[in-house]
């Protein structure tokens, strides 16, 4: 009640409004749930309280009748479903606003882009765009523009950039209608980690895939919310949690492509102790020129160096006005002390991220899109690691990797060549004293 009448602290008021907005989106229906999910990965457009509250939105819909799905598959692939698959389960595994997933088995062997042949009888998952989804999306976008446009005029602009968010919403929904994009990204991710024995990505069955249908290996395993049975069967949860954190850092800092929509529905632990990644609908990218700065920000965060974190954040587009630098540095240092360096407690990356983005909002510093997505992804990785092993300290886990990466970067010949003139100038200045 105090938050409703404006008596509570600002952070609590914002959290209360964010929760109320999430509940309203759920009441408005699937299109607005999807809008909230898009917002949850855009900290550059949406305040941090809303970003992390919207994570809780679940995209689930009543299933489409199996007969409609069979007709959609036949229309997309040009042949009757019964000729394409040996078996087809009419009961869906999952049903969301854009697509529905069914289990089936291959009628004949298929060779994937790389890896071993998939023999006839291999269990597969068929992801099918729901019939009429394109028309429904167009209507949803019109309705979202009407509702958010009115809310924007009534003061929503103080909290989020509704016009840009709507544009992002339209682009995101449009891309999700072409399942081939997800398939290509999945193959790329699998190729990037082809030599990692602890990472698994289902292989795509391209002869049975099209714009509206994506067929892939079916994954058996445990969701991150149900790992008790996995640990009882000997799964090394701590090892997987550590490795999962390192895999994310390799995505960001080495391959330049990272899964930006990790949550329990998109990750499994397989019976042979691997992490399985699913649903590559939202992927972030990092350019080579950005990766050194990102590594420096990561290292500064895990070592609690506010000055270095802000200095290299500026190279990534997050620029604090000179007249506010001292204030912001002091606030970030205090935040690090209370979230990352509390004796006897694991670091709280989520608390740090919410506080950091809140500080930037207070001083009216714009969050670059890529920077915001990266912060959100790092918080999600901490959540994933703790879902696998609740007592993990993600900062402690990140230190060796961040330190090693920066050390390797500093001794590269090109980097040494860049630094030699500055080193010589410093030496000459010292000799001249």
Give one DSSP letter per residue of 263-283, joined into a string. Answer: -GGGEEE-TTS-EEE---SSE
Structural domain contains residue 177: no
Highest mean pLDDT among 188-197, 258-267, 273-282: 188-197
Taking 60 as the threshold, does the pLDDT of residue 253 lie above it? yes
Sign, CA torsion 402/407/412/417:
positive
Structural domain contains residue 26: no
Query: What b/e string do you get for 125-148 counting C-beta neighbours within 10 Å, with b at 16 or more?
Result: bbbbbbbebeebbeebbeebbebb
State percent of the chain over pLDDT 70: 83
What is the reported pLDDT for 408?
A: 67
What is the reported pLDDT for 406?
A: 66
pLDDT tens-digit readout, 392-426: 887 777 777 767 766 765 555 554 445 445 544 54
What is the reported pLDDT for 139?
A: 79
261 counts as catalytic? yes
Structural domain contains residue 426: yes
CB atoms closer than 10 angstroms to residue 410:
11
Looking at per-residue pLDDT, the higher value among 300 and 70 belongs to: 70
**Sequence-ordered list of residues with C-beta below 8 angstroms from that of 104, at least 6 positions apart, any chain:** 85, 86, 87, 88, 89, 123, 124, 125, 126, 215
Looking at per-residue pLDDT, the higher value among 345 and 126 belongs to: 126
What number is the average pLDDT over the span 246-260?
A: 83
What number is the average pLDDT over the span 128-139?
A: 83
**For residues 115 and 122, is the Cβ–Cβ distance under 8 A?**
no
Structural domain contains residue 246: yes
What is the reported pLDDT for 60?
A: 73
Which residue stretches of 160-218 are H helix?
162-176, 179-192
Task: Give the C-alpha separation, 160 to 71, whole Å.
Answer: 41
pLDDT tens-digit readout, 22-75: 888 877 776 777 778 777 767 767 777 888 788 777 667 789 999 999 999 999
pLDDT tens-digit readout, 106-120: 999 999 987 889 999
Minimum mean pLDDT range among 70-74, 142-146, 269-273, 407-411: 407-411
Confidence tier at 303 by pLDDT (50, 70, 90): confident
Structural domain contains residue 274: yes
What is the reported pLDDT for 426?
A: 46
What number is the average pLDDT over the span 128-150?
A: 79
Look at the chain and report how many structural domains it folds into: 1
What is the reported pLDDT for 411?
A: 53
pLDDT tens-digit readout, 162-181: 666 777 677 777 777 899 98
Minimum mean pLDDT range among 154-158, 161-165, 287-291, 390-394: 154-158
What is the reported pLDDT for 78?
A: 95
Residues spanned by the domain of 320: 232-433
Structural domain contains residue 131: no
What is the reported pLDDT for 268?
A: 86
Structural domain contains residue 267: yes
Taking 70 as the threshold, does the pLDDT of residue 251 lie above it? yes
Minimum mean pLDDT range among 111-125, 252-266, 315-329, 408-422: 408-422
Note the pTM of the prediction, 2 decimals.
Answer: 0.77
Given the residues 261, 305, 348, 393, select the one marked as catalytic: 261
What is the reported pLDDT for 121?
A: 95
What is the token pair recorded at 362?
Answer: 């207070």
**Sequence-ordered list of residues with C-beta below 8 angstroms from that of 389, at least 6 positions apart, any chain:** 237, 238, 240, 241, 242
What number is the average pLDDT over the span 241-264?
A: 81
What is the reported pLDDT for 128?
A: 96
User: C-alpha distances in angstroms, 160 versus 14, 31, 47?
Assistant: 12, 18, 7
Highest mean pLDDT among 150-164, 207-221, 416-430: 207-221
pLDDT tens-digit readout, 369-382: 778 767 877 787 78
The whole-chain average pLDDT of the chain stands at 81
Task: Give the C-alpha separation, 148 to 144, whole Å.
Answer: 6
What is the reported pLDDT for 264?
A: 67
State percent of the chain over pLDDT 90: 28
Structural domain contains residue 124: no
What number is the average pLDDT over the span 332-355?
A: 88
């Amino acid at each position: 009640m105090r938050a409703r009448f404006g008596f509570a602290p600002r952070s609590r008021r914002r959290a209360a409004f964010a929760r109320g907005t999430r509940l309203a989106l759920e009441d408005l229906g699937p299109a607005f749930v999807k809008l909230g999910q898009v917002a949850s990965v855009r900290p550059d457009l949406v305040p941090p309280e809303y970003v992390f509250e919207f994570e809780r939105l679940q995209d689930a819909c009543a299933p489409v009748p199996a007969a409609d799905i069979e007709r959609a598959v036949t229309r997309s692939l040009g042949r009757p479903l019964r000729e394409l698959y040996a078996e087809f389960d009419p009961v869906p595994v999952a049903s969301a606003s854009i697509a529905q997933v069914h289990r089936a088995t291959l009628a004949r062997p298929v060779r994937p882009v790389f890896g071993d042949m998939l023999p006839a009888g291999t269990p597969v998952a068929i992801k099918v765009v729901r019939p009429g989804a394109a028309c429904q999306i167009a209507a949803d976008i019109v309705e979202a523009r009407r509702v958010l446009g009115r809310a924007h005029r009534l003061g929503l602009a103080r909290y989020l950039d509704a016009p840009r968010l709507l544009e992002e919403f339209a682009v995101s929904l449009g891309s999700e209608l072409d399942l081939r994009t997800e398939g290509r990204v999945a193959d790329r991710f699998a190729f990037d980690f082809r030599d990692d024995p602890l990472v698994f990505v289902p292989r795509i069955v391209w002869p049975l895939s099209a714009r509206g249908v994506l067929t892939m290996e079916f994954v058996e395993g445990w969701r991150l919310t149900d790992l008790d049975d996995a640990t009882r069967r000997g799964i090394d949860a701590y090892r997987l949690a550590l490795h999962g954190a390192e895999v994310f850092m390799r995505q960001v800092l080495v391959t330049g492509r990272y899964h930006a929509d990790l949550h329990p529905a998109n990750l499994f632990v397989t019976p042979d102790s691997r992490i399985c990644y699913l649903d590559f609908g939202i992927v972030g990218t990092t350019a080579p020129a950005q990766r050194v700065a990102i590594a420096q920000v990561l290292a500064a965060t895990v070592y609690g160096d506010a000055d270095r974190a802000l200095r290299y954040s500026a190279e990534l587009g997050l620029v604090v006005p000179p007249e506010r630098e001292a204030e912001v540095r002091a606030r970030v240092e205090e935040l690090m002390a209370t979230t990352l360096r509390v004796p006897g407690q694991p670091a709280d990356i989520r608390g740090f991220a919410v506080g950091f983005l809140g500080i930037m909002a207070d001083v009216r510093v714009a969050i670059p899109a890529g920077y915001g997505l990266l912060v959100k992804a790092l918080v999600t990785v901490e959540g994933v690691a703790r879902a696998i092993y609740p007592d993990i300290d993600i900062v402690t886990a990140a230190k060796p990797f961040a330190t090693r990466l920066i050390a390797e970067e500093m001794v590269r010949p090109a980097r040494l060549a860049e630094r030699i003139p500055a080193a010589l100038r410093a030496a000459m200045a010292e000799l001249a004293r």
